[in-house]
Amino acid sequence: MSLTGADTSVGLTQSDQLGLIFDELSELAGQRNAIDGRIVELAAEIDRQQLLGISGAKTVAALLAWKVGTSRRNAETIVTVADRLGEFPLCVGGLKEGRFSLDQVGVIAEHAGEGSDAHYAQLAENASVSQLRTAVKLEPRPDPEPEVDPFAEEGDDPLPPPMPDEAITTTSDADYTYWHIKLTHDNSAIFASALQSHKDGLIAEWKRDHDHDTDTDSGSQSQRPPLPGKVAAFKALVRAAWDAEAFRRPHGQHTTVVVHVDADTKVAALHLGPMLTNEERRYLSCDATCEVWFERHGRPIGAGRSTRTVNRRLRRALEQRDRTCVVPGCGSTQGLHAHHIVHWEDGGETELENLVLVCPYHHRAHHRGLINIVGPAHRLVVANHLGKPLTHGSLAHQPSTPPPDVPPYPGPCGERAQWKWYNPYEPPPPMRN
């Protein structure tokens, strides 16, 4: 059915028109769910046959986001369901039949306990995504089994519990970027003390500069800066650490590694360390990650060309131009390396046209021969190990087959959940020997 015709709404009330729209939405949603179920199966097949390495992508989620043209979050949901395909056959079966949505099954696969497939398959018939998320949170979580030390003797104390995870995440909107910091209590106390110390120092400076102002004129008072708070203290803490550690950062992220290279044979070794393969030698000498000393007959004859180093000005120009890793489908923005398209040891110059930004993963992959990067930078070609170019475009195209033959998606019932009557899934007790 379609509402695109000129006379489809003639003689129909608004309620009837809305009913037609709902019917078409349910039909399209059912087809979409079935298609998502097939994509989940393909993601599981890519992982099972270990086909990721020849694609140029880091993860299956990155590959799906690239090839399907979806968001990274949606791709991660697909991979989460694919990873637990064997544990939730009923839920995934409902997805393939169009009865459940990918978001519904994604919440179940991400958080539900083992053996809960039948429980959540029944609940998902009527529950919305948010209701499923609440139901999964109500599921009791058994305490993890204490880790057993294989070398412990009878009577020894058990191993201490693992350290809790710490994390720093960011979100942003049109005006601000929000930093969310999760620390353990002891590290939080250290951070709070450092923040308070800088705040006290800023307040002392403020009082020294402004306490002598005795003029009570309102104009003079309006020119006085506000008393420093936690935000000013945090920025002062960052600036102090940045200035104190500046000598350790050649251009922001690398530690210097000393490499000795024989000028005749190009055999390289780390300073007071092991020999390097050809790929490792090229990788280390590509960016300003190392200091290269050339030798002949075991005697140093000089250091590498000073132009090998990507200075700060050139680094900023690279970041402004490339923004992310140049390998299609990657999108990494942190810890990028400045890669010489024509390798530095082969005579490649350290100029903007011979440099591109790549992430450490793809930088190593290139020097191992898994991907090829050919320039100049304004006509860059990135190909896999077979020489097939990798593109940024999605492979999505107009379908050549009819849509999946599945019933319309009924969707959640829309009723408010009465959680006091809900029985959460109870995982079976662990087997004791």
Q: pLDDT by residue (tens digit) across 270-283? A: 655 666 677 666 66
Whole-number pLDDT of residue 82:
93
Residue 100's pLDDT band (boundaries 50, 70, 90)?
very high
- Residue 101's pLDDT is what? 92
Rounded to an integer, the average pLDDT of 328-345 is 79
Residue 85 belongs to a domain: yes
Q: What is the pLDDT of residue 79?
A: 93
In a domain, 391, yes or no: no
The tokens for 9 are 């709404």
Q: Is residue 234 part of a domain?
A: no
User: Is 249 among the domain residues?
Assistant: no
Tokens of 351: 């100029």
329 within a domain of the structure (yes/no) = yes
Q: What is the pLDDT of residue 377?
A: 84
CA distance 107 to 133: 6
Using pLDDT thresholds of 50, 70 and 90, give the confidence band for residue 150: low
Evaluate if pTM is beyond 0.75.
no
| 176 found inside a domain | no
> Which of 107, 138, 169 is the last residue before a domain boundary?
138
Q: DSSP code of 347?
A: T
- pLDDT confidence tier of residue 170, bands split at 50, 70 and 90: confident
Query: pLDDT band at residue 293, thresholds of 50, 70 and 90?
Result: low
Tokens of 192: 């709070």
- CA-CA distances (angstroms) from residue 188 to 178, 179, 229, 291? 18, 15, 18, 38
Residue 88 lies in a domain: yes
Give the pLDDT confidence score for residue 205 in this predicted structure.
81
Among residues 138, 154, 188, the one where a domain terminates is 138
Average the pLDDT over each of 127-131, 209-213, 250-254, 425-429 and give the range with the smallest value: 250-254
| Confidence grade of residue 81 (pLDDT, cut at 50, 70, 90) | very high
Residue 48: predicted pLDDT = 87
Average pLDDT for residues 189-207, to the nearest whole number?
87
What value does the mean pLDDT of the chain take? 77
Higher pLDDT, 392 or 92: 92
173/171 Cα distance (integer angstroms): 7
Does some domain include residue 45? yes
Mean pLDDT of 341-352: 76
The answer to whether 61 and 82 have CB atoms below 8 angstroms apart is no
Out of 112, 138, 164, a domain closes at: 138
Please report, rounded to a whole number, the percentage of residues in the chain having pLDDT higher than 70.
69
The tally of domains found in the chain comes to 2
Find the domain containing 325 and state its range.
Answer: 257-384
Give the whole-angstrom CA distance, residue 146 versus residue 162. Answer: 10
Percent of the chain with pLDDT over 90: 12
pLDDT of residue 252: 45
What the block records as the tokens of 57 is: 């992508």
Query: Stretch 7-31: mean pLDDT, rounded?
Result: 79
Which residues pair with residue 300 across a beta bridge? 295
